[in-house]
Amino acid sequence: MNDADRRRFEFLLRLADSDLVLAQRLGEWVGHGPVLEEDIALTNVGLDLLGQARLWFAYAGEVEARFADRGRTEDELAFLRDGGEFRNLLLAEQPNGSYADTMARQFLFDVWHGLVLGSLILSGDERIAEIAAKARKEATYHVERSADWVIRLGDGTEESHARMQSAIDDLWMYTGEMFEPDATDRALAGEGIGCDLAALAAPWRETVEAVLREATLAVPKTSAVQRGGRRGVHTEHLGHMLATMQWLQRAYPGAQW
Amino acid sequence: MSRNEWPLWEIFIRSQHGLAHKHVGSLHAPDAEMAVKNARDVYTRRNEGVSIWVVKSEDITATAPGDKTPLFDPAASKVYRHPTFFPMPEGVKHL
């Protein structure tokens, strides 16, 4: 069962890394939010995602112990892997930009995230199903909030509309890979443990388009897709982000609170 | 500098079923819907609530501090208004 365990480990890292990387991005807003209330609200979302990442990492470590000498701890997985070993979506690592950029990124991710978790609730792996059930409650609130902001800014002033439109346009090419399963995804879906990513494309598009319409925003026409997150091929932004995120564990190995 | 600030909202949280909503503080939000969302994030992070009310601060009519004497002082000497002379059954809470 070595191969199956390796695949499951890989799959769990993908889930964990997107949560972790996006949580770190949201953490960069702490103290810089446009208003106090937003600062707190956005940080809450970041902490939700970090909590989810920890659950996935903890389980990934247990699965790793089945085929390796030992399973890595949450901290080792988060702070001692290099960029090429990260499996997060490219979308998650994109810089915060303006509040419109951050909210557009959040919205495009949240809709996908909710669909993935909704489908993983039915996973044949009980542990995955349990984590997904817990995480989905949070994700449901996340998408409500981010969709709200896309609509408010899109259907707001001339400037907020223009900024939200350009945010959606710029990020659109990073959404394609969310629905492109590779061999690992297909194998896990076949085992009844993962989910059918390609099947999530239609419901994702439906929700996203409905919100963009309400926000008076245009759906980007481009079909260009940037891919590679799942293979560890990232945009230039991830390395810089990891340098900030990981420096403490790198400079003081094993440091604890 | 003129700046359009979001209006202020007063936030009331019901901590458990059966209890009344209690004022917990205030926050800024562009409208009621957002005020509820912000209240959820600002005031219920530690499991404080099961229900939220938001009220625009400007919709609250308050007593003036200057009216304190005529409004409240007369009650001070009327000890017979306090129900302290009744024995309370044990186990009755929130009365």
What's the pLDDT tens digit per position in A186-216?
A: 999 999 999 999 999 999 999 999 999 999 9
Contacts with B33 from chain A: Cβ below 8 Å: 148
- Nearest by CB: A35 against B28, B33, B45: B28
Q: A36: which chain B residues are within 8 Å (Cβ-Cβ)? A: 27-28
- Contact assessment for residue A21 and residue A93, using Cβ atoms and an 8 Å cutoff: yes
Per-residue pLDDT of chain B (95 residues; tens, 9 = 90+): 446 789 999 999 999 888 999 999 999 999 999 999 999 999 998 888 899 999 999 999 999 888 888 888 888 888 778 777 777 788 877 76
Place of tokens 């909503």: B21
Q: Do A35 and B6 make contact, defined as CB atoms within 8 angstroms?
A: yes
Nearest by CB to A40, from B6, B29, B41: name it: B41
- Determine the 3-state secondary structure of A223 from DSSP: coil
Q: Check if the beta carbon of residue A174 is closer than 8 Å to that of residue A94.
A: yes
User: Model's pTM, two decimal places?
Assistant: 0.88
CATH topology of domain A2-251: Ferritin (1.20.1260)
Full set of structural domains in chain B with CATH:
8-84 (3.10.20.520)
For chain A, give every domain's residue range.
2-251
CA angle A75, A77, A79 (to 5 degrees): 60
Burial-class residue A135 by CB neighbours within 10 Å (0-12, 13-18, 19+): buried
